[in-house]
Amino acid sequence: MLRYQILNSLLHFLVFFLGAGIGSFLNVVIYRLPLGVSVNNPRRSFCPSCKKQIPMWQNIPVLSWLLLRGKCAACGSRIAPRYILVEVLTGLLFYAVFRNFGGDWGRTAEWGPTVLALCIFLSLLVAGTFIDIDHFILPHEITIGGTFAGLLLAYWAPGIVGEEEHGRGMVISFLSAMIGLGLIWTVILLGKLAFGRKRHVFDTPEAWSVTQPDEEKSPVVTLQGDTYEWEDLFTRPTDRLILHSPDVKVNDRAYQNVRVEIKTETLKVCLSNKNEESFDLEKVTLLSGTCTEVVIPREAMGYGDMYFMMMIGAFLGWKAVLFTILAASVIGTVFALVPRIFGKAEWSARIPFGPYLAAGAALWVFYGTPILDWYLNRTMWRPHG
């Protein structure tokens, strides 16, 4: 009996430490992937400040950060608390999967497919969440790559999408991925129609310009010192950037008190006498001026969220898709309201929607079925008598 308890306790510790070790690797992914740096070269982690590679004995998950007091042993630079947070969070998630879907030592347990599939899924959620928080992007390597992984794992472990037969598991996974993709695409489309433009009015004229620093990349728009990527402004042919400008320069021509409309490939200058002059942006080498009002096209959500939801559907099934969207909306609303109560509305503005989707999906993994059953029992109509 004592031997069983020792082995059981050791196994619990090992599962958490394994998750923390995966979390250490996820920190590498979170830091390198958005920068286009290989996660395999260099193989060893390095300090973000001095770039010195960290030896193995200084890279023990959780313990190293605590023993070194969150500093690099080589240069003394501060190592962000996010690193230990990711390690602890991943360790706890792995342990939660083990307790909920694995079982204790010596008992009948689904040690293989289901546990492994959910651990992979939660690892993708963690990586996507922190990349989205840091860079406001969800890389295709995580979203689209994760979708293909979900399809394969749904075949190997059909239980993750609520099925028993392998082939049916993959079919449900694919259909659920399409449902997740379609629902978020619909939200983006409707949001674009309802809230697709953001208007700013300035007391004094603000400088703006369109430049192309790198000929191999798309142009960028600079306004009030902020830079907007071309792809972020013009996601569809109908998108327009409208500026009311006291003065504008287009190549060797100067205009005053005009309205400028910029689209993906064309430029239109609307004169005060209701005449218009159009330009092909490919032939425009200089475009700058000042503006007193600007209307910026915007998305209700990012397309990364759409692919993220597709990945969630591939791993968890269509019920999880519906639950995740609803739960993410509720969680996002709470996180938006609470800071406002304390006068810190800017805190919630720094968090994109991807982390809320991840939180909703994780909530489904551990509590989705009980919550759904409770909701149905409370709302289901029953005849009297």
Q: What is the pLDDT of residues 286-333, one digit of tens each?
A: 999 999 999 887 655 667 899 999 999 999 999 999 999 999 989 988
Query: What is the percent of the chain where pLDDT is above 90?
Result: 44
At residue 110, does pLDDT exceed 50? no
Cα 362 to Cα 199: distance, rounded to the nearest angstrom: 36
For position 125, what pLDDT does the model report? 97
What pLDDT digit, counting tens, does each position of 187-243 carry?
877 766 555 567 788 889 999 999 988 777 888 899 887 888 887 777 667 778 899
Cα 269 to Cα 248: distance, rounded to the nearest angstrom: 9
Do residues 241 and 221 touch, judged by C-beta distance below 8 A? yes
Query: What does the block give as tokens for 326?
Result: 């609803």
Do residues 26 and 86 touch, judged by C-beta distance below 8 A? yes
What pLDDT digit, counting tens, does each position of 9-54 carry?
677 788 899 999 999 999 999 999 988 888 887 777 888 778 788 8
Instruction: Please write down the long-range contacts of 98-106, taking CB distance under 8 Å and 24 or more positions apart.
Output: 98/12, 98/15, 100/366, 102/15, 104/8, 104/11, 105/4, 105/7, 105/8, 105/11, 106/4, 106/7, 106/8
Look at residues 246, 242, 244, 218 and name the one whose alpha carbon lies nearest to residue 232: 218
Distances 332 to 80, 139, 350, 354 between C-alpha atoms, Å: 25, 21, 12, 10
How far from chain centre, in Å, is Cα 65?
26
What pLDDT digit, counting tens, does each position of 122-152 carry?
999 999 999 998 888 899 999 999 999 999 9
Query: What does the block give as tokens for 327?
Result: 């739960």
DSSP states along 356-374: HHHHHHHHIIIIIHHHHHH
Higher-confidence residue of 187 and 383: namely 187
Which residues fall within 8 angstroms of residue 182, CB to CB, at 6 or more apart? none
